Amino acid sequence: MESLPQNASAPTTHIMSVDVEDYFQVEAFAGTVAVDSWDRWPSRVVANTQRALDLLDQHGAKATFFFVGWVAERFPDLVRDAVARGHEVACHSYWHRAVYKLSPEEFRQDTHMAKDVIEQAAGVPVKGYRAPTWSITRQSMWALRILAEAGFLYDSSVYPIRHDLYGIPGAQRVPYTHKCGDNLQLREYPPATLRLGGITLPAAGGGYLRLFPMAYTHRAFQQAENHAQAAVVYFHPWELDPEQPRIRAKLRSRFRHYTNLRRMEARLAQLLSRYRFQRFEDALRAEGQNASFAKPGLHAQ
């Protein structure tokens, strides 16, 4: 177990989220594992998601679970279990395809299908959306209006960093509101970042939580708390599964997917022990009560 900073517990309540997809559905393997072969792969998403749910229960933490619609349709009891344990369920597309690879009509159909199957399983409305691989970029901003038209209240898809697969450099690092026209709007919650030397760096989620030292992650939390902002943390159930089958793919993809899987659960436990977490819907409700919305825009803060 890596040591924790000795400063006092933070008063800020951060946001924990889980992107519920199976290990073979990730973008890193999209060129290797065809969508029409998914049913032939041994699924591990139920056991891995239950492991995530148990970990959150152990620490008394609540989170938002962004379900891939394909998973929700095949394992509706898993969706209901997340709701029964007090978590929020939200949408992570149906086929886990990057938004910028779709036409607006393809995206609309995928999103409506996913939202419907998740709501059917959960028995509650779905308010939030997260694009696969953070794929709402400058080339796919049109997707935000489609989300607002579909009844979503918030999005967490715009990563304000530079990356080879995603990101909008210069986008705000704090929550803000997209104005989508015709009185439609969508609240945006960017994932956690760290500002160093004038550069915005990713932090506290997924591969970044597995790859970077915990001192780096804690610095990102400290920076957020110094500005009274919640850090948006995310992980995937397959990241708790070091025994998952290995898929042949490019070296970079395998590095991103498999590195430090055995350390992930302990690192999450550290965060859950040290910081307080809530669901996106809790943060949205609190913002509505406090009327403390940031102004819309695509500039760094």
Query: Which pLDDT does position 55 carry in this prediction?
Result: 98
* Cα distances (Å, whole numbers) of residue 193 to 68, 79, 163, 172, 232: 24, 29, 13, 10, 9
Q: Which two tokens stand for residue 82?
A: 């997340």
CA dist 239 → 44, 52, 262 (Å) = 11, 10, 8
Average pLDDT, integer, range 291-300 = 42
pLDDT of residue 300: 36
Whole-number Å distance between alpha carbons of 112 and 91: 10
What is the mean pLDDT of the segment spanning 84-105? 97
Tokens found for residue 32: 């290797």
Lowest mean pLDDT among 44-58, 239-253, 287-301: 287-301
> 55 and 265 in contact (C-beta within 8 Å)?
yes
Tens-digit pLDDT profile for residues 164-222? 888 999 999 999 999 999 999 999 999 999 999 999 999 999 999 999 999 999 999 99
What fold, for 13-290? TIM Barrel (3.20.20)
Residue 226: CB atoms within 10 A of its CB come to: 10
3-state DSSP assignment of residue 189: coil
Q: At what angle do helices 261-274 and 214-226 cross, to 10 degrees?
A: 30
Domain ranges for the chain: 13-290
* CA separation for the pair 78, 81 (Å, rounded): 5
In this prediction, residues 279-297 reach a mean pLDDT of 72
What does the pLDDT average to over 235-247?
97
More confident residue, 287 or 122: 122
Please tell me the predicted confidence (pLDDT) of residue 151: 97
Instruction: State pLDDT tens for residues 41-84.
Output: 999 999 999 999 999 999 999 999 999 999 999 999 999 999 99
Q: How confident is the model at residue 288 (pLDDT cuts 50, 70, 90)?
A: confident
